[in-house]
Amino acid sequence: MLATTSFVTPVKSQEPTTDTPAKSNQVLNACVQNQAETLPNPFSDVPSNHWAFKAVMTMHYCGAFRKATPPALFYKLQPTNSQQRSQKESQFQN
């Protein structure tokens, strides 16, 4: 009976997590400046004084590669369908 109740009781985190998500411009700036550890911590099991905190935050917000372009920025930089169409048309006209 004791083992069953231990699975039901939630684990308390070492540090409180922030429920407020980071804004996209905050994420972009932090990733470009290699300061992802300054963003809100979404993980309850990784305290800010943990040896891997910066790496975990960088992976979460910026991607697997060091100084990787965040997906949000990548999608903003992709040309739209109409821009791609006009580029292809101009190539055929020359």
Q: Hey, CA dihedral for 54, 55, 61, 66, is it positive or negative?
A: positive
User: What is the reported pLDDT for 53?
Assistant: 95
Say which residues have a Cβ less than 8 Å from residue 39's Cβ, sequence separation at least 6.
22, 26, 27, 30, 57, 61
User: What is the reported pLDDT for 26?
Assistant: 86
The whole-number mean pLDDT for each consecutive block of 10 residues of the chain, a chain of 94 residues, reads 51 55 80 89 92 92 67 59 58 57
Distances from the Cα of 21 to the Cα of 4, 6, 17, 77, 81, angstroms = 34, 31, 10, 23, 30
| pTM for this model (two decimals) | 0.50
